[in-house]
Amino acid sequence: MKRFYKKAAPSKSSAGYEILLDGKPVKLPSGKPLTCSSESVANEVAAEWNNQADIVKPDAMPLTQILTTALERTGSERPVLTQQVLNYLNTDLIFYMAEDEGVSAPHAKAQEKNWRKWIKYFSDMSKSELVTTTGLAAIKQPDEIHVYVSERINTMDDMYFTLLQILTAETGSLLLSLAFLEGQMDTKQLFEATFVDDLVKADIHHADTYGHDPHTEKKWAEFKALTAACEICLKSD
């Protein structure tokens, strides 16, 4: 979409804050205005729009995407979205580990370093023994962890749940996403745990010296922008 406005700015409204483009509210596909309850988040969203060049790129505006999802989908589709998120539990990234031998050994070592503490953390929190595998067949986690995570999700407001839903889809891990949102891990730890296998491959191929492939660099940059946007939402006034 070609940029059609000169300036974006937040404006106080009955819903909190609207985002205005040259004085006119940004409208979502449903026709509702783009709003948020936090002034600091509204300022950051306006900055996203102001930072666009001649072509407006939605992928470069993670805060706008988060708010759009929260306003357009979460409220009306929360039961369905909740089930989709819970479905990740048995297929969570951190339960499927590499064999600790041969060419897979470096991956297994890195996974152990980045994942094992979170498996233990959620085992302790749910008072259950979480299961891991080095195979491809699906495994089922104990009922206790399903109950624990369901109860945590039920306490979340729509914005917090939206962050969980988006991060879970991006990381492939409900548990890593939950740990991050609850302040148990920082963005660096989340990045390293999510891309553990990519980072091992990059190390093997000396990517720091010879360069990363463009696809990987783009994927990592977008993920870092997303987690930075999530942090802004979590720290909002």
Tokens 């509210």 -> residue: 25
What mean pLDDT do residues 97-123 have? 95
Phi, psi of 133, rounded to the nearest 5 degrees? -150, 155
Give this prediction's pTM: 0.94
Q: Is the pLDDT of residue 133 over 60?
A: yes
What mean pLDDT do residues 119-137 have? 96
What mean pLDDT do residues 125-142 have? 95
Nearest-Å Rg of the Cα atoms of the chain is: 20
What mean pLDDT do residues 116-129 have? 98
- pLDDT tens for 152-166 read 999 999 999 999 999
Query: What is the topology classification, in CATH, of domain 76-234?
Result: ATP12-like fold (1.10.3580)
What proportion of the chain, given as a percentage, has pLDDT over 70? 100
Map out the domains of the chain as residue ranges. Answer: 8-60, 76-234
Distance in angstroms (rounded) separating the CA atoms of residues 158 and 16:
15
Looking at residue 235, its pLDDT comes to 87
What mean pLDDT do residues 127-147 have? 95
Q: Is the pLDDT of residue 97 over 80?
A: yes
Confidence at 237, pLDDT banded by 50, 70, 90: low
Looking at residue 236, its pLDDT comes to 79
- Could you give the angle at the alpha carbon of 78 between the alpha carbons of 32 and 58, nearest 5°? 50
- pLDDT tens for 193-207 read 999 999 999 998 888
Per the prediction, the chain carries an average pLDDT of: 95
Q: Is the pLDDT of residue 11 over 80?
A: yes
- pLDDT tens for 28-52 read 999 999 999 999 999 999 999 999 9
**For the chain, how many residues are written?**
237
What mean pLDDT do residues 183-193 have? 97
Superfamily of domain 8-60: ATP12-like (3.30.2180.10)
Q: What is the 3-state secondary structure (H, E, C) of the chain?
A: CECCCCCEEEEEECCEEEEEECCEECECCCCCECEECCHHHHHHHHHHHHCCCCECCHHHCHHHHHHHHHHHHHHHHHHHHHHHHHCCCCCCHHHECCCCCHHHHHHHHHHHHHHHHHHHHHHHHHCCCCCCECCCCCCCCCHHHHHHHHHHHHCCCHHHHHHHHHHHHHHCCHHHHHHHHCCCCCHHHHHHHHCHHHHHHHHHCCHHHHCCCHHHHHHHHHHHHHHHHHHHHHCCC
